Amino acid sequence: MEDRNGAHREITAVAKGAGIFFIGTLVGNGLRYVYQLVVARSMGPGVYGGLLLGIAILQVMQLVADLGLSQGVVRYAAIFQGRGDRARVKGIIVLALRSVLVSAPVLGLLMFLGSSTLAGRVFRTPELALILRFLAVVLPLYALTMILAFAFQGLQVIKYRVYVNQFVEPGSRLLLAVLFLALGGGLTGVLSAYVLGVLLSLAAAVLLMRRVCPEIFRPAIAAVIERKKLYSFSWPLLFSFLLGYLIVWNDTLFLGILKSSRDVGVYGAAQRTALLLTFILGSFVAIFGPLVADLFSRDKKEDLNRHFKTVAHWSFSLTLPLAVPAVVFARPVLRLFGEPYTAAAGSLVILACGWTAHALLGLCGNVITMSGRSKLHLLNNVFLLAVNVALHLLLIPRFGILGAAAATSGSVLLCDILALLEVRFLLRMSPFRSDLLKPLAAAGIGTAGCLLGRGSLFSGAGDLIEMALGSGLFLFLYGGATLLLGIRDEDRAVLGKILIRLKRIKTGGPACASGPGK
């Protein structure tokens, strides 16, 4: 009985923690998506594609500048905080900040100096030079912000990380971009909004850190620097995370090299839309990872396997209602960016299918890593990157943006299957539950109703009305079918936590209880 109660508390903790990430990431991704819409409609596919290329380069450079230290900060800030050793908490955060204050400006200078070469010779996109020069200024600010954001996670105040990364930065960027474009700022205005958005998020992170860890700002309190521990843990992670980032951005970079910035822009509308499907899995991964490590260390493999199945089931079940409308209304969705972007409808369908499958299988890689097999996870990423690059080189020259989508979805799915086999044979676990067909059946019923309504009831109503009514009908049928097919007790625990959190937000109540880790 005690084990059952403990298992119930663990799975509800996953749901509660994932709820914070879920809502924050939902808001943040929504704001970023609207920003993409505004820029794409205002700038056109060519300039929008140049901006996406610049952001891809910025993301990779930021990861290199980070040196893996953000993950080290999460680990050691949590450890030293648990011990009540505030001097070492201060030391670990200060050391990480000092390190990126060296690496990020150096890489930013390289970006600035290499902007003309990259714009002219590599990507053949003249406006990319200006974009990279602005983003070179962003790089140090961005790197510092991310260290502080991950420090909040290590100090178990996840809500502050959400505030900084998901509210302040994308929200201010969007508002400033709309303002500058309305004033006729053009591309310079959009880039200025990007710089100021990151600057404001850094300012917010500093102010919140003064509340969480005021010792950092008090010279009289000596910091105990654990340089060897932080560097030895963090640096090996750099390569693994760099591989992950390259896999996400390879389609953009290879399209820019092998095709044109216009192709990048058209494809980018589909890519940005499809990536919205990944935030649910990401929310669960952020909380489920520590639980995996804890249960595995206590040799509670049966509990772990049960939670693994439940979390994977809900990740898949919550992603399906987003993916199906994206597939059914692919062209109307992309028309929000502008008519030229509807050419990427096929790419959106391929990417949506790939990321939906990843919502079910993606936890396998997390289980491999958190079970202590980080080297195996690294080898998986090396394999994935090699396949990803090979598929892009093979498919993009022949099929263009469809090839880029197929290469991305195919390589991710292949690596997920590899991780699934490893989890099955090494750990004797699986993400599949016996009732996996229930969400698929519910999705089938919802899709049939959505297609029927689109062909008769909503036909000719206009894109926005058609998407709203069709998606609403799908959600109604999907939810109703899910309830009729039955929900398990552990599923009710997950759903209950999500509904309680949504109710608190709707009524203005506290979204989370006070105290660490809430």
**How many Å apart are CA 143 and CA 63, to the nearest integer?**
8
* Among 216, 71, 227, CA closest to 154: 71
Q: Is residue 236 part of a domain?
A: yes
| In a shared domain, residues 431 and 342 | yes
3-state helix/strand/coil string of 167-193: HHHHHHHHHHHHHHHHCCCHHHHHHHH
| In a shared domain, residues 430 and 458 | no
**How many Å apart are CA 133 and CA 122, to the nearest integer?**
16
Q: Is residue 49 part of a domain?
A: yes
| In a shared domain, residues 394 and 476 | no
What stretch of H or E contains 321? helix 301-328
State what percent of residues in the chain have pLDDT above 70: 86
The Cα-based distances of 160 to 24, 81, 325, 518 in angstroms read: 10, 16, 32, 10
Which range has the worst mean pLDDT, 9-13, 20-24, 298-302, 357-361? 9-13
For residue 267, the one-letter residue type is Y
| Domain tally, the chain | 2
Q: Is the pLDDT of residue 175 over 90?
A: yes
Positive or negative torsion for Cα 53, 380, 79, 96: negative
Q: Does residue 99 sit in helix, strand or coil?
A: helix
Q: Residue 436's pLDDT band (boundaries 50, 70, 90)?
A: confident
Residues 419-439 have a mean pLDDT of 87
Q: Is residue 514 part of a domain?
A: no
pLDDT attached to residue 514: 28
pLDDT attached to residue 111: 96
Q: Is the pLDDT of residue 424 over 50?
A: yes
| In a shared domain, residues 94 and 32 | yes
**Residue located via tokens 């990401």:** 282
| In a shared domain, residues 250 and 391 | yes
| In a shared domain, residues 455 and 418 | no
Give rounded-to-5 percent helix, strand, coil for the chain.
85, 0, 15
Q: What is the CA radius of gyration of the chain?
A: 23
Q: Residue 80's pLDDT band (boundaries 50, 70, 90)?
A: confident
The Cα-based distances of 362 to 75, 200, 414 in angstroms read: 22, 33, 11
| In a shared domain, residues 352 and 394 | yes
Helix axes 2-66, 261-275, angle to 10 degrees: 160
Q: Is residue 513 part of a domain?
A: no
| In a shared domain, residues 319 and 402 | yes
pLDDT, one tens digit per residue, over 391-415 is 999 999 999 999 999 999 999 899 8
Helix axes 301-328, 363-370, angle to 10 degrees: 150
Q: Is residue 517 part of a domain?
A: no
**How many Å apart are CA 381 and CA 395, to the nearest integer?**
21
| In a shared domain, residues 475 and 501 | no
The one-character DSSP state at 121 is I
**How many Å apart are CA 37 and CA 33, to the nearest integer?**
6
Q: Residue 508's pLDDT band (boundaries 50, 70, 90)?
A: very low
DSSP assignment of 200-255: HHHHHHHHHHHHH-GGGG-TTS-----HHHHHHHHHHHHHHHHHHHHHHHHHHHHH
**How many Å apart are CA 17 and CA 171, to the nearest integer?**
23
**Residue located via tokens 């049960």:** 306
Q: Is residue 464 part of a domain?
A: yes
pLDDT attached to residue 483: 84
Q: Is the pLDDT of residue 325 over 80?
A: yes
Q: Is the pLDDT of residue 188 over 70?
A: yes
| In a shared domain, residues 353 and 453 | no
Q: Is residue 286 part of a domain?
A: yes
Q: Which residue range forms the structural domain that includes residue 477?
A: 436-487
For residue 439, the one-letter residue type is P
pLDDT attached to residue 21: 63
pLDDT attached to residue 252: 93
Q: Is the pLDDT of residue 301 over 90?
A: no
| In a shared domain, residues 177 and 251 | yes
**How many Å apart are CA 127 and CA 133, to the nearest integer?**
10
Q: Is residue 135 part of a domain?
A: yes
| In a shared domain, residues 321 and 446 | no
pLDDT, one tens digit per residue, over 218-252 is 887 787 788 888 888 777 778 777 887 788 889 99
pLDDT attached to residue 506: 39
pLDDT, one tens digit per residue, over 142-156 is 999 999 998 988 887
Asked whether 60 and 136 are in contact (CB, 8 A), the reply is no
pLDDT attached to residue 296: 66
pLDDT, one tens digit per residue, over 469-491 is 888 888 999 989 888 887 777 66
How high does pLDDT run on average in the chain?
84
* Among 35, 452, 442, CA closest to 272: 35
pLDDT, one tens digit per residue, over 25-79 is 788 888 999 999 999 999 999 999 999 999 999 999 999 999 888 888 887 887 7
Q: Is the pLDDT of residue 348 over 90?
A: yes
